[in-house]
Amino acid sequence: MTAGSWLQIEPAASSARAKRTIAQRLLATLRREARPTGRPFSLAGRIIASVIVCQLVLTAALTTVAVLYARLELGRGFDAALNGWAANTLAAVRYTETEVPDLLFDPSLIPPSSNSRHPDLFEIRRSNGELLARSAGPLPVEVKEGATYGNFVLNGIPYRAIVLRQVPVLDREENISVPARVTVIYAASRVGLHERLVQLGVSVAGVGLLLLFIVSAVAAWRVRRGLEPLRELAGLAGAISVLNWEFRPPAEASMARELAPLTSAIETVLDRLQQSFRQQRDFTSDAAHELKTSVAIVKSTLQSLLQQPRPEHEYRAGLESMLEDCGRLEDLLGRMLRLARIEQWAENGMNHKLGTTEVTSTCEAAISRIQALAEARNIQIELIAPREVHLQADPEDLEVIWVNLLENAVQYSPPGSKVAIHVESNGGGTACVSVQDSGSGIPEEQLPHVFQRFYRGDPSRSRATGGFGLGLAICEAMVTAYGGQIRAANRDGQGTEMRVQLPIKRYELSSV
C-alpha cells in the first residue's frame, strides 16, 4: 500500500470531478504551481499541510508493514492449524476388528469445521490411491507432487490445503506390525484469515488517522503560536508613519533566528527612509525659508511704497529694486528646479542619449560665463588643460558643474587673486577636473557639509554675493548622476580645492 493509494482513499466522486479531495487540496497547497497568479496562501497552512502529509505517509507505511507482518505470522499459524486439523481427521481413520484389519473411516470423530460458513474439505486416500473418505464434495485440486501446501479457489472462496502423504494409521490395536498408510488432504477457507488481516489493517490505520487528527490540531495551534512574533512584527511595522518612526522589535522577534534577518532588514530600510525623509523635509524647510525671505523683501518694498504718497523717483527706485529681487527669486527657483531634475535623472537613469564631449571646451564656456563676476572681483581665472579629454556627457551638464564650482571659488577668493581650473585624464577611464581658489580655505569641521543644500559655511559672504548655498549641492547631484565623485579639500593654507572625477564612459545602467 503506498501513500498515493491512501491519499486517494476517497476518490473524487463521479458527480464532482472539480471537487477535489482533501488530500489533493493539501498536495496542491504544497505544490507551488497551484497558485498560478499570486493567489494568497498561508505559511501556517503550508507547514500544517506538510505535517499532515508526513503523518499520512507514516500511517500508510505503518499499516502496510503491520499487515504484511501479520499476514506472514497469521499464515504460519494457519498452516500449523491446518496441520492439526489434518491430523485430527486422520484420527478418524481406524482399523476394523476383523481378522484382516481393514481401514475404516468414522465420520463421528471428525472435529468441527474451522469455519462455519465455509466448511472445511478433506480427502483420505489409501496408499494405492483409492479413496477412503472425503467431505461433502470433491476437492478440485490435484495437489502437486511433493508440495505440502497449496491454494485453490472453490466457488469464489479461497482455500488453503495441506497434504499429509503416506502417513501411518495408528490405532489401539497392537497386533498390527506394519501400519497402513494413507494420504490426507485437508483444506480450510482462508476467508477468516483475510477478514482478520483487514480488521488489523483498519484498526492500525484508524489509530494512525486519529493520531493524524490530533497531531494536526496540535501543529496548527503550535504554528499559529509560533508565528505570533511575525504577526507582532507586522503590526509594529504597520504602525510606522512619517509621524512615528519608532520601531522596537519585540524581544521574541529579534531572538528568533528566522526573523532576525527580517527585523534587521526592516530596521535598515527604516533608517534609510527616515534619513531621506528628514533630508527631504530639511530641504523643503530650507527652501521655504529662502523663498519666504525673498517674498518678504518684495512684499515689504511694496507695502513701504504704498504707505504714503511718494515722489515719482521713489516709486521708480522701488520698482527697480523689486525687479532685481524678482530676478534673485527666479535664480533661486531655477536652482531648486535644476537640483530636483538632476535627482530625478539619477533615480531613473539618464534617459537622454549622451554623445562625446570635449571637457576643456566646456570649461572655457563656463569661464566665459563667470568672467563678468570674476572681473568685478578682480580675479583672474586660469585654465590648465595639457591635452584634450573626451567624456561621454552632455556639454551643458558639464558646464553647469564648472560654472557652479568657479562661481564658488571666485566668491571665496580675495580680490586680486587667482582661480585655477585643471583638466586631466588619469588614463584609467576617469577624467579629473579640479578648481583651486586662493581663499582662506574651509574650516575642517565644515568640509563634510559643503555639499549640503542651503549650507553656508560663512553666510555673510555667500549671502552678500547672492548665493543660496545650492551651487555645490547642484554640482554634487550632477556629478553623482554621472557616476562620478566630488571632494572638497584644503590646500595647506592656500585655499580650497574642489576635485571632480567623472568616468569617461558612462555605463548604461538605465538599459539594464
Partner 1 sequence: MRVLVVEDEKRLAENVARALRENAGYAVDVAGDGEEGLYLAESSNYDLMVLDLMLPKLDGPSLLDRYRKKGHATPVLVLTARDEKENVVRLLNAGADDYVSKPFDLGEFLARAKALVRRGKGQRSPVLSVADLQLNTIERTVKRGQKEIALVPMEYRVLEYLAHRPRAVISKSELLEHLYDYNWEKFSNVIEVYISGLRRKIDSNYAVKLIHTVRGHGYVLRPERERT
Stretch that binds partner 1, among 102-110, 289-297, 405-413, 489-497 (CB under 8 A): 289-297
- Answer for which of 5, 275, 279, 300 binds partner 1 (CB under 8 A) is 300
**Is residue 288 within the footprint of partner 1 (CB under 8 A)?**
yes
Give least dist CB 464 to partner 1, A. Answer: 8
Stretch that binds partner 1, among 132-140, 174-182, 391-399, 455-463 (CB under 8 A): 455-463
Stretch that binds partner 1, among 126-134, 167-175, 222-230, 295-303 (CB under 8 A): 295-303
Asked if residue 356 lies in contact with residue 390, where contact means CB atoms within 8 angstroms, the answer is yes
**What is d(CA 423, CA 446) in angstroms, rounded to the nearest whole number?**
26
**Is residue 465 within the footprint of partner 1 (CB under 8 A)?**
no
- Answer for which of 22, 260, 265, 295 binds partner 1 (CB under 8 A) is 295
Rounded to the nearest 10 degrees, what angle do helices 359-376 and 395-412 cross at?
30
**Is residue 243 within the footprint of partner 1 (CB under 8 A)?**
no
**What is d(CA 106, CA 406) in angstroms, rounded to the nearest whole number?**
133
Give least dist CB 285 to partner 1, A. Answer: 7
- Answer for which of 243, 460, 511, 512 binds partner 1 (CB under 8 A) is 460
Stretch that binds partner 1, among 137-145, 211-219, 222-230, 288-296 (CB under 8 A): 288-296
**What is d(CA 510, CA 504) in angstroms, rounded to the nearest whole number?**
17
Smaller CB separation from partner 1, 278 or 299: 299
CA distances from 505 to 385, 389, 430, 431, 509 (A): 20, 12, 8, 10, 12
β-bridge partners, 162:
149, 186
**What is d(CA 406, CA 372) in angstroms, rounded to the nearest whole number?**
12
Give least dist CB 355 to partner 1, A. Answer: 43
CA distances from 266 to 234, 240, 254, 255, 505 (A): 10, 11, 11, 15, 36
Stretch that binds partner 1, among 250-258, 287-295, 354-362, 482-490 (CB under 8 A): 287-295
Percent composition of the chain: helix, strand, coil (DSSP 3-state, to 5) = 50, 15, 30
Give least dist CB 468 to partner 1, A. Answer: 12
Of residues 336-375, which lie at the interface with partner 1 (CB under 8 A)? none
**Is residue 289 within the footprint of partner 1 (CB under 8 A)?**
yes
Nearest to 302 by CA among 278, 283, 286, 326: 326
Stretch that binds partner 1, among 45-53, 153-161, 264-272, 285-293 (CB under 8 A): 285-293
- Answer for which of 32, 224, 292, 341 binds partner 1 (CB under 8 A) is 292
**What is d(CA 210, CA 217) in angstroms, rounded to the nearest whole number?**
11
Smaller CB separation from partner 1, 232 or 325: 325
**Is residue 459 within the footprint of partner 1 (CB under 8 A)?**
yes
- Answer for which of 334, 458, 466, 510 binds partner 1 (CB under 8 A) is 458
Nearest to 465 by CA among 381, 382, 377: 377
Nearest to 348 by CA among 473, 447, 481, 464: 481
Give least dist CB 466 to partner 1, A. Answer: 11
Nearest to 467 by CA among 478, 476, 459, 477: 459
**Is residue 325 within the footprint of partner 1 (CB under 8 A)?**
yes
Q: How many degrees, rounded to 5, is the angle at CA 85 between CA 79 and CA 89? A: 145
**Is residue 511 within the footprint of partner 1 (CB under 8 A)?**
no
Give least dist CB 301 to partner 1, A. Answer: 5
Count of other CB atoms within 10 angstroms of residue 280? 10
Stretch that binds partner 1, among 75-83, 125-133, 233-241, 284-292 (CB under 8 A): 284-292
- Answer for which of 301, 371, 465, 501 binds partner 1 (CB under 8 A) is 301
Q: How many degrees, rounded to 5, is the angle at CA 489 between CA 486 and CA 495? A: 125
**What is d(CA 395, CA 389) in angstroms, rounded to the nearest whole number?**
13
CA distances from 453 to 239, 267, 425 (A): 31, 27, 29
**Is residue 297 within the footprint of partner 1 (CB under 8 A)?**
yes
- Answer for which of 25, 224, 463, 491 binds partner 1 (CB under 8 A) is 463
CA distances from 397 to 266, 362, 364, 373, 391 (A): 37, 9, 14, 21, 12
Count of other CB atoms within 10 angstroms of residue 148? 14
**Is residue 299 within the footprint of partner 1 (CB under 8 A)?**
yes
Stretch that binds partner 1, among 126-134, 161-169, 249-257, 296-304 (CB under 8 A): 296-304
Q: Which residues of 236-274 are buried (b: 16+ CB within 10 A; e: fewer)?
A: beeeeeeeeeebebbeebbebeebeebbeebeeebeeee
**Is residue 278 within the footprint of partner 1 (CB under 8 A)?**
no
Q: Kindly state the number of chain residues that form the binding site for partner 1, as judged by CB under 8 A.
A: 25
Cβ-based neighbours of 23, under 8 Å, separated by 6 or more = 7, 8, 9, 10, 56
Asked if residue 60 lies in contact with residue 1, where contact means CB atoms within 8 angstroms, the answer is yes
- Answer for which of 268, 293, 494, 510 binds partner 1 (CB under 8 A) is 293
Stretch that binds partner 1, among 72-80, 87-95, 303-311, 392-400 (CB under 8 A): 303-311
Give least dist CB 314 to partner 1, A. Answer: 10
**Is residue 309 within the footprint of partner 1 (CB under 8 A)?**
no
Q: Which residues bind partner 1 (CB under 8 A)?
A: 285, 288-290, 292-293, 295-301, 303-304, 307-308, 321, 325, 458-461, 463-464
